[in-house]
Chain A
């Protein structure tokens, strides 16, 4: 079983602060995705990282995939109340051979940004 451990589980910070959340596994993934889920909604994809060591930036969000493709981090600069939500990482085992993909999800980091 491929498990993804996310830390911290909960994070409450003031607006304007920086933060980093982590996603770790003992298994190698072909790719890793980060989703954000707001209350009452389904997860929405933020980014997919594929190459070991890859860094992707999305405005104030910076995503990094570990060199060994076992871990990832999400760094948010100058957090805003709109960043509040549950951040989920999901590792892909790649093409299942049946035309679909399976993702293994972590439990998520619940972020609250206080104005």
Chain B
């Protein structure tokens, strides 16, 4: 138990569906992240939020839409996805820290997404 929860753990959706992934952290952190983990590829950073403000969008297609209503919650809204979007979607959080140290990121268990 890392203090970061994600729901649902598994999701199967058609290409025309709209669904949302939810992430909640109970650690008092201020930064939250969405990553995509596909087979045979490194973890890909998708979005970064700090104090509810989006600070990074790594060229993610618009069919993925993040939302961060407060520092504890992060959503990823999905619509008209493609089969190649099937992957494990991981949420993480961290505290701002010293400038010279890569701060520890605490990951949730992920949502296994399958797009049919």
- Interface of chain B, helix or strand or loop or mixed? loop
B90 at the interface (CB under 8 A from A): yes
Q: A96-B55, A98-B50, A101-B103 are in contact. Are A42 and B108 (CB under 8 A)?
A: yes
Q: A41-B110, A101-B94, A107-B41 are in contact. Are A94 and B100 (CB under 8 A)?
A: yes
Chain A residues whose C-beta falls within 8 Å of the C-beta of B106 in the assembled complex: 45
B-side interface size class: 35 or more
B51→A94 contact, CB < 8 A: no
B 88-116 to A, binary, CB cutoff 8 A, 1 in contact else 0? 00101010111111111111111000000
A 86-108 to B, binary, CB cutoff 8 A, 1 in contact else 0? 00101110111011111111111
Q: Which of A35-67 contact B (CB under 8 A)?
A: 35, 40-45, 48, 50
Residue in A33, A99, A106 whose Cβ sees the most chain B Cβ within 10 Å = A99
The closest CB in chain A to the CB of B90 belongs to A42
Q: How far is the CB of A30 from chain B (nearest CB, A)?
A: 6
Give 12 new A-B contacts, CB below 8 A, not counting A43-B90, A95-B100, A107-B41.
A29-B102, A40-B110, A42-B92, A45-B104, A45-B106, A92-B101, A98-B48, A98-B50, A98-B56, A100-B94, A100-B96, A107-B42
User: Chain B residues in contact with chain A, CB under 8 A?
Assistant: 2, 4, 30-31, 33, 40-43, 45, 48-51, 53, 55-56, 90, 92, 94, 96-110
User: Chain A residues in contact with chain B, CB under 8 A?
Assistant: 4, 29-33, 35, 40-45, 48, 50, 88, 90-92, 94-96, 98-108
